[in-house]
Amino acid sequence: MDGDGNVSIQVLRDVAVPLRDGTVTRAEVWLPEGGGPHPAILTRTIVPVDGPPTLQPLMDQRLATSRGYAVVLQEVRGRGSSEGDFEPFVNEAADGADSIAWIAEQDWCDGRVVMTGASVLGAAQWLAASASPPALRAIAPTISSDELAEGWSLTGGVPEHGFLSTWSAVTLAPLGERWLDATERALDDLAGLERIAPWISDWYGPADSDYWAALSVSSRRDQVEVPVFAAGGWYDIFLAGTLASFARSRDPRDRLVIGPWGHDPFLSWLIGDVNAGIDGAGLGRLFPWSLDFYDAVIAGREPDAPRVRAYVMNARRWLALDAWPPPAASSSTVALATASFDVDPGDPVPSRGGRGFTPGLPDAGWGVRDQRPTAARADVVEAASTTLEQATLLAGPVTAHLRTSADGDGACLWTATLCHEQADGALHNLCDGVATAAADGGEVELSLGHVCVALPAGARLVLLVAGSSFPRWPRPQRARTQSLREGGRLELTVAPYELLDSAAPTKG
C-alpha cells in the first residue's frame, strides 16, 4: 500500500490447480503485492474466468485484495480451459476439497480459505463444505441452497421444468451443442435435450432418488463444519431452499440476508414491473457484507451483523432480526371459495413472473408481473379475496390448504398465486406454489413460500388457483375438470407492524 492508501495487485493467469485424479483445472489468482501470505477467497465457476462476469459479479477482486485477501477464480473440471469432463454437481465435493487443500499450501496463502459465489457457484460451496476440508473457514452462497432436489430442481415435488430445461440448453450443455437460437425448443423436446444434457432424466426424478441422495448436503449438514453467510431473494427460484438451509443452521455465527431480488446475478432492485427501492440493490452491498463476515470468522469473533437481514417489500427498509420468521409472528386464516375449472394441456395457463427462472428466453421468468391477464382466463379461479382492516406486515410462510377433486384418474397439478391488488387494479404477485394431488380428492397442502411485505389498511389480497402454469412447471398430462371443495383455507403469517419502526430506511 502506498502513501495514498492504494494497493498494488498482482494477477497470475492460467494457474494449474491439480485434482486427486490427475485432472488439471485452471485458475486466475489475484494477490495484494507484498506483506503475504493472505487468507484466500475461492470462487469455483462454470464460466471462463476471463469472460463476462455473468455468474460472478459478487466477486470484487479489487475490494477483496484491498481488504487483504488473495482471490482465486477457478474453472471447474471440463469448463473453460480446465481438463476433464463436466457433469453438473457430481464432482464438486471432492474437487472443491482438493482445490481448497491446494490453495492452502501455496506460499501466498496463510492456510485459511473462504468461498463465495452465486447460484450454481453457491451449490459448489455447499458441496465442497460437505467434504469438511480442514483449510476451509467459511462459505457465502448467494441465491442458492444446500439441497439440489426439493428447493432447487423440484418445488412441491414438481420439476421446475422451465428452469431445468432452459438452463441445460443454454448454459450447461457443451458449447457447440447449445440451443441458443431456439431455446424454447427445450420446453417441449426433453428427448432431444437429453442427448446434449444427459443429466436431465435424473433431474426430473423424485426427490428421494439415489441420484439426489448422493448430492444432498442437507442430509449431512453435520459435515459442514464452517459458518455460512447465506443470501437469497424474495423473487428467487431458490428462495425456499435458501430459507430451509438457514433453518438447518447449527452455528451461531451463521447469517442470513434476503433482499428483493429474483434469480438475477446483479441482484437488481428492479423486480419485474416494480422498483423495490435502491436500498434493496445487492450489487455493491452484499459482497462488502460477506467480507465483514469473513473478517470476523477469521479473527475468531462473532460477526457484528444481525443474524437475519430481511428487506421489506413496499416499505423499502431492512429488518434486523434474531430469527426468521420474526419470533413474534402469528397466523391468520382466510376461507377459500368453492369453484371448478377445466384444464387443457394444449392451452395451459402461461407462467407470468413469480419465482421462476428461464435463462435464454425473452422473459427470464421472475419478478412482479400484473396477473390480471391470468385472472381473466376461464381456467383460473379467484379462490380467496380479503381486504385488510389495518396496516399489515406479512412476514413468513404462506400456505394454501385446498380441498380438491377432479374427474378421471391419475394425479393432477394445482398451482396458486397470492396477489396484492394495486390502486389501478393491477394484481401484483407476492408468492406462488405448486403441488400434485390424486384425482379422487382430499386436502392438498400447497406451500406458496415466504414473503416479507408491508401492506396498507384497505389493501386487497387475492388468491388465484389453476391447474397449470407453463413453462415454469410441466404441462398437465390430460384434459380434465378440477374442483375446489368447501373447507379450504389460506394461512398467512403476520408480524407486528411496529417492527418497521426500528427498520433501517432507504438511503436512496
pLDDT (tens digit, 9 = 90+) per residue, 444-488?
999 999 999 999 999 999 999 999 999 999 999 999 999 999 999
Q: How far apart are CA 188 and CA 193, in angstroms?
A: 9
From residue 422, alpha-carbon distances to 154, 373, 387, 425 in Å are: 31, 15, 12, 5
Contact 109, 39 (CB under 8 A): yes
CA geometry: angle 121, 210, 229, nearest 5 deg? 30
Would you say the CATH fold of 330-500 matches that of 9-157+206-305?
no
Average pLDDT over residues 397-415: 95
Please state whether the predicted TM-score (pTM) of the whole model is above 0.75: yes
Residue 35: what pLDDT? 72
**Residue 218, phi then psi, degrees to nearest 5:** -60, -30
pLDDT of residue 52: 63
Going across the sheet that includes 460-466, the strands are 380-387, 460-466, 411-421, 427-438
* pLDDT tens digits, 253-300: 999 999 999 999 899 999 999 999 999 999 889 999 999 999 999 999
For the chain, give the mean pLDDT: 95
Please determine, for residue 46, whether its predicted confidence score (pLDDT) is greater than 90. yes
Q: Which cell numbers in the block locate residue 371?
A: 396477473
Q: What angle do CA 428, 433, 437 make, to 5 degrees?
A: 140
**In the chain, what percentage of residues exceed pLDDT 90?**
91
Supply 193's cell numbers: 435435450
Residue type, 190: L
Using DSSP bridges, classify how beta strands 109-118 and 136-142 pair: parallel, antiparallel or unpaired.
parallel
Average pLDDT over residues 493-503: 92
| 92 and 129 Cβ atoms separated by less than 8 Å | no
Which CATH number applies to 9-157+206-305: 3.40.1350.10, 3.30.70.1560, 3.40.50.2020, 3.40.50.1820?
3.40.50.1820
pLDDT digits (tens, 9 = 90+) for 140-149: 999 999 999 9
| The CATH number of the domain covering residues in 330-500 | 2.60.120.260
C-alpha cell at 209: 432418488
Give residue limits of the domains in the chain.
9-157+206-305, 330-500
Q: 190 is written with which cell numbers?
A: 426433453
Beta strands in 216-329 (DSSP E): 229-235, 255-262, 270-271, 274-275, 308-312, 317-321
**Size of the chain, expressed as the number of residues it contains:** 508
Q: How far apart are CA 440 and CA 296, in angstroms?
A: 56
Q: Are 41 and 115 in contact (CB under 8 A)?
A: yes
